[in-house]
Structure 1
Amino acid sequence: MHDNQPRTIAPNDLPAVITRYLAAHRAHDTATAVTTFTDDAVVIDDGNAYRGSAAIERWLDRAATEYTYTTELTHAQETDKTHYIATHHLEGDFPGGTVDLHYRFTLRDDLVEHLVIEP
């Protein structure tokens, strides 16, 4: 019986495309980060949807410069071979100063098709 509940995995067991995205995002490397998404990908962040490569690239550029913060990958989960959750602890100069964010990835053809970022 499979109830589609996420199971904890080691962070280094996340798929390579997720690891590549997270490393590029952390390094503010928009050019590399955008290559991890499908052409028709959707990112949901702060209640806003960014559809397609151009919108995602603008979102990545803005996210890289809006606040100064540190991020640490604290938890990883796998629901199935296309759905993963990476939890990050952020500390910085954004409102509230600290937050744990869940990055919910949906993969297609070894690329990120859908990403939802939420507390």
Structure 2
Amino acid sequence: MNHTPEPWMLFEVGDRFKHQCPASSDRTSILTTAMEDDVYFGAVYNDEDARRIVACVNACAGMENPTDEISRLKAERDDLLAALDGLVDCYCSVSPDLTRDERISHRRMLSKAQILILEVRKNKGGAT
């Protein structure tokens, strides 16, 4: 089973005390309550959602404002990709007088940069 598709949202629940309930985009709660040994506790319906919650919380450890920091990191990643693309294009079009060994070394570095660009693009969701 896969995790609940994004976007997730919060909606307010409760009569006397108001609480925020995480839910899917169609407002289906991803949480339930359970009782064991006369103790009530919250539980996640889907094990994949539970794993995703823990992974996201742990990945955001130490971040004061995860939403802003992740947005900034994504923008920096995109800027870095654009800069690398520009460097690769520039180098491929301008080839100063290099020795054969220097050209081979530079081509290897360019190949590594192009592979990294493709990997980063793939990891960001296939965007080009």
Larger Rg, first or second structure (1 or 2):
2
Name which structure has the greater RCO, CA cutoff 8 Å, separation 6+.
1
Compare the two structures and name the one with the higher helix fraction.
Answer: 2
TM range (shorter): under 0.3
User: Which protein has the bigger strand share?
Assistant: 1
TM-score w.r.t. length of structure 2: 0.19
